[in-house]
Structure 1
C-alpha cells in the first residue's frame, strides 16, 4: 500500500516571537496549514505524531485534544533533528497496517532566548554534566572541532563551506518564509565574527520560533499532486560515539534505502539534508552517495552546489531559513514535499525524486541519530 504526503504546512519562522506566542500555538498553525493544503479537516485525522522540546507540560495527547483530533494512532518523538524521519517511518508502517488512514506529523518549538538557553544547557545528561560547565555552552564548540577534522581529512577550506552557505542563501532569497534572505557574499561570510574557530556566524544555524507539518494518507489515486514515500530508514547509535563524527549513521542505511526505493543517488533531483553546520551537509551528501565516492568534495561543492546545478536545501535550509527547534528535522521534509508537489513558488525546480536526511541528538561528540527518506513525485 503506497503512502503519500498530500499536504505540507508551516507556521512563520521568526527570531523574535510576539508576546503570547506558545509552542502549541505555532504547531497548531502548521497543522492547520497542512490540512488546508490537503483539503482535509481535523475530523478526517485519525493519526497524529509530534516532536517538540518546549511542549511541556503538555504531551501529544493534550495537543491532539486541543486541535480536535479523535485518534486511533498517536506518537511523540523526542529525537530532534532525526524526529521527522523517525515519525514518518512509524506513520508509514501504521498506514500500511491499517492502524490509521490520515496521519499528521508535526514539529515545532518556541525558541525565544530563555527557552533556547535552557535547552542547550540541559539537552541531555551528557550535555548537562560535561559540556554545560565549560566556558562555551551548546554544540558550536563540538562541531568546530568536527569541522576542523573534516577540513584536514578532505582538504576543504573555509571558502568551500562558504559556497554552501552562499548557495543556500541564494535559495532563501526566493523563499518568503526564510528568516534571512539578503544575499550573502564570500567576503561577508569570511569576515563574519568567529563563533568557535573555524566556525563563523554564518556557519551556525540561527534559532527561531516556528513549526512544520505534513499530512500522510494511503495513495489517494485521485490525481492530486503528492509525494510518494519510496523508502524511509533510521539509524541510532551507529558507532556508539567511538568514531570521529565525519561519517553519520546514514552510511549504514543508505544502500538498503536506495534498494527499497528502486533508484540510486544519481537519480536525485533535490536533496534536503540537515544543515546545522556546512560540514554536516558535506558529511551527509557523502554518506547518501549523492557526493559520489572518489570525487573531490571541494570540486563537487563548486561544480554542483555553488552553481545550484544540484538543488540542495532549496528553502535556504536551516542556515538561512532558521532552526525552529525540533522542527529542524521536519523542515527538509516539508521543502522536498513542496518541490515534488509543485508548490515551491519562485524556487520551484523540475524534480521527480528527492532525498531528505535528518541528523541530530548530540551526545558527547556528535549526532547519534540519522534518518533517510526517498520521495517520488506522484499525480
Structure 2
C-alpha cells in the first residue's frame, strides 16, 4: 500500500497566508479568496489555470461550489472534505493522487475564517453525540481534558509539562511578526491561569482568530520551473478511529499512531529524518500525544520530552516554529497553516527559519482527537 503513493511526483509550488489575527470587514469567503489569489500568484500561475479546488469553510457546507463561483473558475474536480483541522492534509493526499494520475493539472487548497471578528463559536455537535451530552462537557475542550487527565494518571504527566508546550509556542511566536499572540509567558503564569475544563486552563487552549491560508500544488516537473523553490510531497496518510472521544478504546493514543507510520513508509523516512515538525496544537496535550504517536518519543514520555525548552527555539526538536495554534493563529481550523509553515521552512523563508531544513512533517487533527492526517514534505534534494 505504501508504494502506491506518488512519492515526490507532486509539489507545493505556491503558498500564502492572509488576515491572520483580526481581519475586520472580511467574510470567511473573502479571506479564503484573497489567500487563494496570493498563492496562485506565488506559484507564477493564473487563476484560470486552477482545475482542482479543495476547500473547507467553517460556515459553508457547499464551499467547493461557492468558492469556485466566487473565484470565477470551473474546476474539473472539487473536494469539500470536512474532517475538521485534518481535512487539509487529506486534501493534499487527494490532490497528489489526482495530479499524478493526470486527472487535474493545478490544485488549489484554501481555507478562510473570520471567527474572531464575527464573534463565532464552534457548534456543539451533541445531536450526533448522545452518549456524552448528558455529562454537559464543554465542547471541544472537555474531550481533550479527558485525554490529558488520563495521560497524567497513566504516565505521570504534569500540568507544568503541558505548560512547557504553551511557553515554547509563545517563544516561537515572539519571533514571528505574523503571530497574533506575543509577549512573555511563563510556566508559573500557565499554572495560575483560569481552568476551563480540568486539567486544562485557558493557557492550554488555542487562540480564536481570523485568518486564511492557501497552497497550490502541481506535478513536480512543472513546480521546478515556478518562481519559488518547489516543495515535493514525499508521503501522506490519514486515519479516523472515532468521532466522539467516548468511543475511544484508549484516549491516550490517537490515530496519528497509524497515519504517521504510513506516511513515513511512503516517504521512505523515519522520525529521526525529520528536520522540523508542525503539529495541530489546539490544546497543549495535542503536542504531547502527537510527538508520542508520530514516533518522536515513546508513549508516555511526551511530557518529559518537552521539558526544559526541548521544542522551543534552540531546543533539540523545532516544533510549531510559527507559534502554532496556541500563539500564532487558530481561525476555527489550523491544519493548512501548519502545512504552510512546513513548506516555508523548506523554502528557507520562514520567520523563524531553521538552518538546513530539507524535510518537514505537518500533522492535522480533526474533531475531538478523532481524525488524524500526516504529510511529509521535502526539498528537491530529497528526491
Q: Does 1:317 align with 2:324?
A: yes
Aligned in 2, Cα 1:349/1:32: closer, same or farther, shift over 3 Å?
farther
The residue that corresponds to 1:157 in the other structure is 158
Instruction: Answer whether contact 1:305 1:311 (CA < 8 A) is retained.
Output: yes
Of 296-305 and 172-181, more deviation after overlay is shown by: 296-305
Aligned in 2, Cα 1:178/1:74: closer, same or farther, shift over 3 Å?
same
Structure 1 residue 221, shift from structure 2 partner:
2.9
Q: Does 1:52 align with 2:57?
A: yes
Aligned in 2, Cα 1:39/1:283: closer, same or farther, shift over 3 Å?
same
Structure 1 residue 370, shift from structure 2 partner:
0.6
Of 68-77 and 315-324, more deviation after overlay is shown by: 68-77
- 1:301-320 CA-to-partner distances (Å, cap 9, x unmatched) read 12632453211000100011
2:109 pairs with one of 105, 111, 123:
105
Aligned in 2, Cα 1:269/1:111: closer, same or farther, shift over 3 Å?
same
Instruction: Answer whether contact 1:9 1:37 (CA < 8 A) is retained.
Output: yes
The residue that corresponds to 1:228 in the other structure is 232
Q: Does 1:76 align with 2:80?
A: yes
Instruction: Answer whether contact 2:293 2:299 (CA < 8 A) is retained.
Output: no
Structure 1 segment 160-179 matched on structure 2, within 5 A? 160-179=161-180
Cα distance in 2 for partners of 1:185, 1:286 equals: 24
The residue that corresponds to 1:273 in the other structure is 279
Cα distance in 2 for partners of 1:111, 1:221 equals: 36
> Secondary structure at 2:321's aligned position in 1?
coil
Cα distance in 2 for partners of 1:126, 1:238 equals: 12
Structure 1 residue 256, shift from structure 2 partner:
2.5
Structure 1 residue 107, shift from structure 2 partner:
1.7
TM-score (norm 2): 0.89
The residue that corresponds to 2:315 in the other structure is 308
- 1:86-142 CA-to-partner distances (Å, cap 9, x unmatched) read 11111111101111111110122221477633x333x36335x56567655321122
Instruction: Answer whether contact 1:55 1:109 (CA < 8 A) is retained.
Output: no
The residue that corresponds to 1:262 in the other structure is 268
Q: Does 1:3 align with 2:4?
A: no
Q: Does 1:13 align with 2:43?
A: no
Structure 1 residue 76, shift from structure 2 partner:
0.8
Of 81-90 and 129-138, more deviation after overlay is shown by: 129-138
Structure 1 residue 150, shift from structure 2 partner:
0.8
2:68 pairs with one of 51, 64, 73:
64
> Secondary structure at 2:97's aligned position in 1?
helix
> Secondary structure at 1:81's aligned position in 2?
coil
Instruction: Answer whether contact 1:357 1:371 (CA < 8 A) is retained.
Output: yes
- 1:41-86 CA-to-partner distances (Å, cap 9, x unmatched) read 2022111110122135x53122112112232221112111111111
The residue that corresponds to 2:43 in the other structure is 38
Structure 1 segment 192-341 matched on structure 2, within 5 A? 192-219=193-220, 220-222=223-225, 224-237=228-241, 241-291=247-297, 293=298, 296-302=301-307, 304-306=310-312, 307-326=314-333, 328-341=334-347
Cα distance in 2 for partners of 1:349, 1:106 equals: 28
- 1:6-29 CA-to-partner distances (Å, cap 9, x unmatched) read 1111122225x42x3211001011
Cα distance in 2 for partners of 1:206, 1:152 equals: 27
Cα distance in 2 for partners of 1:258, 1:104 equals: 24
Instruction: Answer whether contact 2:50 2:107 (CA < 8 A) is retained.
Output: yes
TM-score (norm 1): 0.90
The Cα RMSD (Å) is: 2.3
Instruction: Answer whether contact 1:116 1:207 (CA < 8 A) is retained.
Output: no
Provide the aligned length of Structure 1 versus Structure 2: 367
The residue that corresponds to 2:3 in the other structure is none
Aligned in 2, Cα 1:225/1:64: closer, same or farther, shift over 3 Å?
same
1:120 pairs with one of 119, 123, 128:
123
1:359 pairs with one of 361, 365, 382:
365
Structure 1 residue 324, shift from structure 2 partner:
0.9
Runs (5+) with no aligned partner, structure 2: 1-5
Cα distance in 2 for partners of 1:44, 1:22 equals: 25
Instruction: Answer whether contact 2:292 2:300 (CA < 8 A) is retained.
Output: no
Instruction: Answer whether contact 1:238 1:252 (CA < 8 A) is retained.
Output: no
